[in-house]
Structure 1
Amino acid sequence: MQGFVFSDPLALAAACLAVVLVGLSKGGLGGAMALLGVPVMALTIPPVQAAGILLPILIVMDWVSLWSWRGTFDRRVLKMMLPAAMVGIAVGWATAAWTSDAMVRLIVGVIALVFVARWAQGAIKARRSPATPRPHNAAAAGVWGSLAGYTSFVAHAGGPPYQVYTLPLRQDPRLYTGTSVVFFAVVNMVKLIPYAALGQLDVANLTASAMLMPLAALATLAGAALVRRMRPEVFYPLMYTMVTLVGCKLTWDGLQAL
């Protein structure tokens, strides 16, 4: 694909918003905003192209996060989930030719809505009774790790499947964050190979990535600063509302186009 990707002002605005949301998330404001990256950009350009533009930006953010959380990770989680994630990436690569833009929009929309539903369910359970840590389960880690790899490949939306397995472990927040940083840094680096093979790292997309990179860096720094100031009880309901609206929009668009 040649030419300027964001010749439409609306597409440029959506891309900037998507990068800011992902950057704030990488800075520490949580996975809900990261989930909005591809869906928001996909409102104006094909979702596969949106994912291709965001991948180099995500990798640069990963490097910053790896340095920030160096030495803090759960080896057992990574040993069980990363090999499965590689399988999920391979499945996504193998089926890319048969996955239409409409199907990707539908997948991303459903992922967003399931993510919100699980968050709501967890909030209700937390009010009823305190959660107890769940022990490791290799089979469950394999299933959710592979789904995380697949959804990460399709739309950089591997967070929800990853969280389905890891959140019930009730890890220390620092250990949870550091482990997720390593997991997705490895996943994103591996995704460079299939994305390049599929032509999503062409000159036009890489130029768009480079153009958005300074904004991504500023957003990441802003996220790290805001996380020390913003009240979670205000922020998270707002973000999950946004995820719900975008998820409904993309699910509807995907169903209409199928």
Structure 2
Amino acid sequence: MEFDLTFFALAIPAVMFAGISKAGFGSGAAFAAASILALVVEPALALGIMLPLLMLIDVSSLKPYWGKWSGRDAKRLILGSIPGVGLAIWLYQIADADVFRLLIGGISLAFVAYEIARKRGLLPKREAPFSSPVGLFAGVTAGFTSFVSHAGGPPVAVYLLSQGLQKTTYQATTVLVFWAINGFKALPYAILGVFTWQTLLIDLLLAPFAILGAWLGVRAHFWIPEKAFFTVTYILLTITGTKLIWDALS
């Protein structure tokens, strides 16, 4: 296929947005970049183009957040993601991802509504964070949805936001978790033919914009106060959830 000016006009801001979202705001809306690319290329090509760029953003984001993550929560999510990715590999050619988009989108919106109600005193405050099995389940869901659509951000965000983490701990944990999940996806993508020489060439051209987006995201994260950060995160989670439901129903 031809990668023309229309493609790059959409791809460059989409890749920068993914970098800003992943490096600064918890990955919740980064999946939208693949959806934008799918407007002008086949969905499988969009996935193949985005994964190396997402991995580049992950690597670019690790150093600023190194050691600042919640090891307990990261371990739960990463361990859970392994069977999630395995299930996605098995079901890749027959699974209807719309069911999972609808489920995760609904959970995302419900969680935002829950947090708003809780902060306004309409609900009693939770006495304890979500348990280990919930973290493992969130990891399974994230591994599966990340593999089929790069949409693993919402289940991770729903789990981590409920843990009461400070903004940098939260962000560092998402960076570590998706660095691992995206690494798990790379070899299966190659075996399934999701990568092509075309996608790798396009990745080389778009790589500087991915790094620039990550750089902007890290700085935006440290510039924005904690309250404003979580407000932005809830907004991104709402957008993500709405987009997932729209994609599923349409």
TM-score range, shorter chain: 0.7 to 0.9
Equivalent residue, structure 2, for 1:90: 86
Question: Residue 226 and residue 122 in structure 1: after superposition, are their counterparts in 2 closer, same or farther (change >3 A)?
Answer: same
Identity of aligned residues (%): 27
Query: Does structure 1 retain, via aligned residues, the 8 Å contact 2:20–2:215?
Result: yes
- Tell me, in whole angstroms, the C-alpha distance in 2 between the residues paired with 1:123 and 1:184: 27
Ranges in structure 1 where 5+ consecutive residues have no aligned partner: 254-258
Q: Which moved more, 1:195-204 or 1:236-245?
A: 236-245
Q: Say if 1:132 and 1:170, in contact at 8 Å, map to a contact too.
A: no
8 Å CA contact 2:83, 2:143 repeated in 1: yes
TM-score, normalization by structure 1: 0.81
SS in 1 for 2:29: helix
Aligned-partner Cα distance in 2 for 1:134–1:179: 19
Offset at residue 131 of structure 1 (A): 4.2
Of 78, 87, 112, which aligns to 1:119? 112
Match of 2:248, as an amino acid? T
Could you tell me how far 1:170 is from its partner in structure 2?
A: 0.9
In structure 1, distance between residues paired with 2:180 and 2:169: 17
* Inter-partner Cα distance in structure 2 for 1:249 and 1:107: 12
The equivalences for 1:19-168 within 5 A come to 19-99=15-95, 103-104=96-97, 107-108=100-101, 111-112=104-105, 114-128=107-121, 131-132=125-126, 134-135=128-129, 137-168=131-162
State whether residues 48 and 155 of structure 1, in contact with CA within 8 Å, keep that contact through their aligned partners in structure 2.
no
Q: CA RMSD in A?
A: 2.8
Q: Tell me, in whole angstroms, the C-alpha distance in 1 between the residues paired with 2:173 and 2:231.
A: 27
The answer to whether the 8 Å contact 2:25/2:171 transfers is no
Distance change >3 Å, CA 170–CA 234, structure 1 → 2: closer
Note closer, same or farther for the CA distance 1:30–1:79 as it changes in structure 2 (3 Å cut).
closer
SS of equivalent residue, structure 1 residue 152: helix
Alignment coverage as a number of residue pairs: 246
Distance, in Å, in 2 between the alignment partners of 1:185 and 1:98 is 27
Residue of structure 1 in register with 2:248 after alignment: 251
Q: Output the TM-score relative to the length of structure 2.
A: 0.83
In the alignment, is the contact (CA less than 8 A) between 2:16 and 2:213 conserved in 1?
yes
